[in-house]
Amino acid sequence: MSLASWFRWNEPPSRISQKNPTEMVVETLMMELSWQTKQAEKQQRERENEYRKIKTGVDYGWLVSYPKQSYDISPGERLQLEDMCTKIHPSYCGPVILRFRQLIAEYEPEVQEVSRLFRSALQEAAEKIKEEEEAKKLARQWTTKNKTSLSLTTFKSRSRISPFISDIKTISEDVERGTQPTRRVWSMPEFRNAKDY
Structure confidence by residue, pLDDT tens digits, 47-77: 888 888 888 887 776 776 766 667 889 999 9
How confident is the model over 96-107, as a mean pLDDT?
96
Looking at residue 196, its pLDDT comes to 53
Residue 6: predicted pLDDT: 56
pLDDT of residue 182: 56
Spatial separation of the C-alpha atoms in residues 25 and 42, rounded to whole Å: 26
Which residues, other chains included, contact 126 with Cβ-Cβ below 8 Å and sequence gap of 6+? 84, 87, 88
pLDDT digits (tens, 9 = 90+) for 114-173: 999 999 999 999 999 999 999 999 998 888 776 655 555 555 555 555 555 555 555 565
Q: What is the pTM of this model?
A: 0.61
Calculate mean pLDDT across residues 23-43. 95
Percent of the chain residues topping a pLDDT of 90: 45
CB of 92 closer than 8 Å to CB of 125: yes
Residue range 5-23, pLDDT digits in tens: 555 555 555 555 678 999 9
Longest dimension (CA), the chain: 136
Report the pLDDT value the prediction gives residue 50, as an integer from 0 to 100. Answer: 87
What's the pLDDT score for residue 59? 75
SS3 86: helix
Please report the pLDDT score of residue 158 as a whole number.
52
Work out the percent of the chain whose per-residue pLDDT is above 70.
62
pLDDT at 70: 78
